[in-house]
């Protein structure tokens, strides 16, 4: 069994994520390739595509959302993601059990005496042909069941029913209450049943080689060892430097690890950072503690393919200024390269503002 070192795994991940060279592909094809874009924060999917695609414009993604080619909803790990509408229709049923488990952990005590089937049926009836925000829906349902915790009502419905969150919610710089629409109505097609094997192959195409635990962390699915064993004859099997089995598609290319990787800015909650149980292909365990704090995953700077620091973007709208600050964990070998990529990022985020880039040392 071939052993893959961290540099090889790093370069494989960067290549498949289009972080070695920005891809000349459409936003639609990129979302399909990445399976689902983390979308807890509205702007994150835009950053995700900007740093991976050549010539990406914000309207490229917004148009996919308004055209219903891409939808946003609870998918992987029970958290907000964007995916192609076609993919949502089989992804959501596949992860539904995980979503219900997360709901039970968060609101099981508050809802222990509720008839959840009755709640789901009432919510579905209200949403048929309608788009309602989570607070609006919770208020209407509370009219039937007064005294119930409205927060628990809203989040429980989001878990019980397959809903998507129509635009303009989720588009660039647009906040506000989350709207609900029944997914099948919004997309205009029925759900499909699919086994986890399909998701495993899609994951490996974008993130492999990877272990069973890596896939479980990324997807939120559990007890997947048997699925990988069933797929084993059709996959390549490697091991990492610690002897952990890694799986990959049989025709997937492994780069040789030679050459430097370009500077890249990854948003908070980036797909790549959240794709592995063992993240040492991207960062040290010490740096992981600084990047992944509680439920937060902070925006990161990649230098030669590894996390080299954190970054923040602050806007002074009155002064018409956007300031990007990098806090580096170690001296930056090529500050000009970081400054150039930061300038490109600011041109994407704030083209009409004055730009400032500050490179500083991490102080904790």
Residue-wise pLDDT for 102-119, tens only, equals 999 999 999 999 999 999
> Residue ranges of the alpha helices (H) in 129-265?
134-144, 150-160, 183-187, 196-207, 212-219, 225-231
Quote the CA–CA distance of 104 and 295 in Å, as a whole number: 18
> Residue ranges of the alpha helices (H) in 166-298?
183-187, 196-207, 212-219, 225-231, 285-291
Summarize pLDDT for 263-303 with one digit per residue, the tens: 999 999 999 999 999 999 999 999 999 999 988 999 999 99
DSSP 124-139: HHHHTT--EEHHHHHH
Domain housing 85: 2-187
- Retrieve residue 253's tokens: 């290319």
Residue 328's nearest CA partner among 349, 350, 312 is 312
Q: What is the pLDDT of residue 131?
A: 97
CB 71 within 8 A of CB 85: yes
Domain boundary among 187, 216, 242: 187
Domain boundary among 161, 187, 213: 187
Q: Is the dihedral of CA 290, 269, 204, 76 positive or negative?
A: positive
- Is residue 271, in this structure, part of any structural domain at all? no
User: Residue 281: how many CB atoms within 10 A of its CB?
Assistant: 25
Domain boundary among 128, 160, 187: 187
User: pTM for the full model?
Assistant: 0.95
- Is residue 212, in this structure, part of any structural domain at all? no
User: Residue 193: how many CB atoms within 10 A of its CB?
Assistant: 8
**Rg (the chain; Cα; Å):** 21
Domain count, the chain: 2
- Is residue 56, in this structure, part of any structural domain at all? yes
Residue 74's nearest CA partner among 117, 29, 36 is 36
- Could you tell me the pLDDT band of residue 175, with boundaries at 50, 70 and 90? confident
297 and 175, same structural domain?
no
- Is residue 13, in this structure, part of any structural domain at all? yes
157 and 28, same structural domain?
yes
Q: What is the pLDDT of residue 362?
A: 94
């Amino acid at each position: 069994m071939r052993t893959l070192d961290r540099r090889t795994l790093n370069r494989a991940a960067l290549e498949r994520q289009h972080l070695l060279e920005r891809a000349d592909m459409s936003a639609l094809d990129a979302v399909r390739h990445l399976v689902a874009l983390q979308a807890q924060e509205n702007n994150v999917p835009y950053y995700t595509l900007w740093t991976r695609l050549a010539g990406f414009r914000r309207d490229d993604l917004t148009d996919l959302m308004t055209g219903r080619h891409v939808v946003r909803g609870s998918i992987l790990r029970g958290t907000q993601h964007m995916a192609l509408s076609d993919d949502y229709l089989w992804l959501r049923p596949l992860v539904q059990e995980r979503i219900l488990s997360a709901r039970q952990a968060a609101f099981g005590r508050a809802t222990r005496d509720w008839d959840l089937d009755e709640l789901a049926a009432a919510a579905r009836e209200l949403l048929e042909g309608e788009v309602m925000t989570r607070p609006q829906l919770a208020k209407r349902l509370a009219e039937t069941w007064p005294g119930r915790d409205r927060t628990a009502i809203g989040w429980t419905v989001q878990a019980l029913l397959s809903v998507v969150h129509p635009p303009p919610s989720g588009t660039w710089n647009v906040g506000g209450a989350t709207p609900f629409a029944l997914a099948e109505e919004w997309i205009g097609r029925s759900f499909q049943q699919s086994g986890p094997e399909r998701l495993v192959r899609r994951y490996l195409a974008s993130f492999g080689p990877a272990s069973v635990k890596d896939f479980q962390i990324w997807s939120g699915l559990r007890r997947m060892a048997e699925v990988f064993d069933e797929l084993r004859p059709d996959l390549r099997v490697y091991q990492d430097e610690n002897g952990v089995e890694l799986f990959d598609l049989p025709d997937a290319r492994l780069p040789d690890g030679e050459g430097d990787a370009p500077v890249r800015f990854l948003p908070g909650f980036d797909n790549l950072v959240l794709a592995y149980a063992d993240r040492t292909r991207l960062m040290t365990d010490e740096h992981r503690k600084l990047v992944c704090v509680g439920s937060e995953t902070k925006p990161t700077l990649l230098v030669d393919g590894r996390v080299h620091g954190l970054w923040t973007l602050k806007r002074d709208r009155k002064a018409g200024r956007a300031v990007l600050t990098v806090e580096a964990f170690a001296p930056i070998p090529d500050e000009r390269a970081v400054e150039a990529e930061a300038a490109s990022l600011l041109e994407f985020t704030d083209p009409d503002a004055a730009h400032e880039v500050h490179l500083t040392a991490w102080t904790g």
